[in-house]
């Protein structure tokens, strides 16, 4: 919650760069110099000082500094917080405010730990920044909540309910849900194969955002695996620990559509969310199986832990039929991408290299998130050749796993541009330092901002 121009508050927060004019008493006692992620709480004056580091700093660092600075006082008793932004550069204001709203929320099922109500107070001169940052942060926190929610709570059916309830009252949105019987009738081959091993049935959600006025149309697809055991290609325990969040791509799609609708952004979006749980039973799909999709393409299963690409193929086939000129796919697709780029950066694969370069350049320079362009290296298609089907779902080679997965997806795209975001690294904070081994909500901010700038 936020309000403007209220003089009654419990504490204040002030931000400073290293080169800002920092109060002399702070320098004298040598506790605060405005350095990156440095914070100091003056209990007597009830002021929290947060250091933002160097001016023109990396916005991810700025975001991290704000989150960690605010959380440094989480054990203090306060409800109303006055936010003083007059020392923050114009280009940084949105991200500082967004970080505050993000820092305020965390998912917890602890008996005695609840998210308390904190009201931020801003000067009304920042009204536009505050309202935009709040919308982004609220969508991002929705994604974080779902990703951190255990799969016994976020079943496939509950995920559908969350999507419908989140979007049903927003403008210009239409939702259609296909259940298991409809999936069989229409031959969603990948979704049926992956989902049939679980007691929780698969679903396919179609979401259309169509404002009254728009110039461009895109398809937006998100992977919705509510839990990934690996299937018969069973993951070791440690690799399963964050697999309740294997639906981060799908949640991201929902979050982005929410912001687009709230801001009435002039872009039409056809979104597709395949939802399933990859589990083991007597009904599970097996290594050696061949599945045939609606477009006639057959796939030999060589690894049941390469399930995400199978359900995404169904969504891509659906997107091929719509009126969009480009398809975006968002997925926690491969550990290989995380090996290549680490925990902070998501991989971008683009059939149109120039569009991919524009996206990556925008993300790295204009948002608090990080991306890197990776190649759709066509010779690696040899890794996916099958002797008995059109393509294999996984390579037997250890190398180029993220590229192989992206090439698999590209095989299903027809007559439109294709961009795939592999978010396996940053969807969960395993080293970024902002969410302490919890969901981050990446890439809600960057992909929303890119779409609203380049596709209206």
Phi, psi for residue 361 in degrees, rounded to 5: -65, -40
Q: Which residue has the tokens 């399933």?
A: 276
Q: How far apart are CA 337 and CA 426, in angstroms?
A: 10
Q: How far apart are CA 98 and CA 94, in angstroms?
A: 6
Q: Catalytic residue among 135, 144, 309, 416, which?
A: 309
Nearest to 394 by CA among 305, 311, 312: 305
Nearest to 270 by CA among 321, 194, 232: 321
Q: Catalytic residue among 235, 294, 381, 417, which?
A: 235
Start-to-end Cα distance in the chain: 29
Angle, alpha carbons 295-183-196 (nearest 5°):
105
Query: Is the C-alpha dihedral spanning 58, 64, 67, 71 positive or negative?
Result: negative
Nearest to 217 by CA among 362, 356, 373, 328: 328
Query: Would you state the structure tokens that stand for residue 409, as one six-digit string?
Result: 């997806």
Contact 23, 141 (CB under 8 A): no
Longest dimension (CA), the chain: 76
Beta strands in 339-439 (DSSP E): 345-350, 370-374, 391-392, 417-422
Q: Which residue has the tokens 């009204």?
A: 127
Q: How far apart are CA 244 and CA 252, in angstroms?
A: 15
Catalytic (active site) residue 235: yes
Nearest to 18 by CA among 62, 60, 48: 62
Other C-beta atoms lying within 10 Å of the C-beta of residue 30? 7
Catalytic (active site) residue 309: yes
Q: Which residue has the tokens 């991810």?
A: 60
Radius of gyration of the chain (CA): 23
What are the catalytic residues?
235, 309
């Amino acid at each position: 919650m936020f309000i403007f121009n209220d003089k009654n508050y419990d504490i204040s927060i002030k931000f400073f760069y290293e080169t800002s004019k920092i109060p002399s008493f702070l320098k004298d006692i040598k506790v605060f110099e405005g350095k990156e992620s440095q914070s100091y709480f003056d209990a007597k004056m009830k002021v929290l000082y947060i250091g933002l580091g160097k001016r023109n700093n990396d916005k991810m660092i700025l975001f991290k500094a704000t989150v960690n600075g605010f959380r440094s006082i989480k054990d203090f008793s306060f409800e109303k917080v006055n936010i003083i932004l007059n020392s923050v550069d114009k280009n940084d204001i949105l991200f500082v405010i967004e970080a505050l709203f993000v820092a305020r929320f965390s998912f917890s099922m602890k008996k005695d730990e609840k998210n308390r109500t904190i009201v931020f107070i801003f000067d009304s001169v920042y009204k536009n920044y505050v309202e935009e940052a709040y919308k982004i942060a609220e969508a991002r926190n929705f994604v974080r909540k779902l990703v951190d929610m255990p799969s016994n709570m976020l079943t496939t059916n509950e995920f559908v309910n969350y999507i419908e309830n989140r979007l049903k009252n927003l403008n210009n949105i239409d939702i259609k849900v296909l259940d298991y019987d409809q999936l069989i009738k229409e031959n969603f081959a990948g979704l049926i194969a992956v989902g049939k091993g679980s007691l929780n049935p698969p679903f396919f959600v179609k979401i259309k955002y169509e404002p009254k006025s728009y110039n461009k149309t895109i398809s937006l697809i998100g992977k919705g695996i509510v839990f990934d055991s690996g299937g018969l290609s069973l993951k070791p325990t440690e690799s399963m620990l964050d697999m309740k969040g294997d639906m981060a791509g799908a949640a991201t799609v929902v979050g982005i559509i929410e912001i687009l609708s709230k801001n009435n952004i002039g872009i039409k979006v056809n979104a597709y969310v395949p939802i399933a749980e990859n589990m083991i039973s007597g009904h599970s799909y097996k290594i050696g199986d061949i599945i045939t999709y609606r477009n006639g393409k057959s796939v030999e299963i060589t690894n049941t832990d390469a399930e995400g690409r199978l359900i995404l193929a169904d969504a891509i086939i659906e997107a091929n039929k719509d009126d969009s000129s480009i398809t975006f796919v968002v997925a926690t697709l491969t550990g290989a991408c995380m090996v290549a780029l680490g925990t902070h950066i998501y991989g971008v694969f683009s059939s149109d290299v120039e569009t991919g370069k524009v996206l990556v350049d925008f993300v790295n320079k204009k948002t608090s998130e990080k991306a890197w362009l990776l190649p759709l290296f066509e010779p690696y298609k040899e890794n996916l050749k099958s002797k008995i089907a059109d393509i294999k779902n996984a390579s037997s080679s250890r190398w180029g796993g993220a590229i192989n997965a992206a090439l698999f997806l590209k095989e299903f795209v027809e007559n439109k541009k294709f961009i795939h975001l592999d978010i396996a690294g940053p969807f969960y904070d395993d080293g970024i330092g902002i969410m302490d081994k919890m969901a981050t909500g990446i890439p809600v901010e960057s992909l929303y901002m890119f779409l609203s700038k380049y596709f209206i």
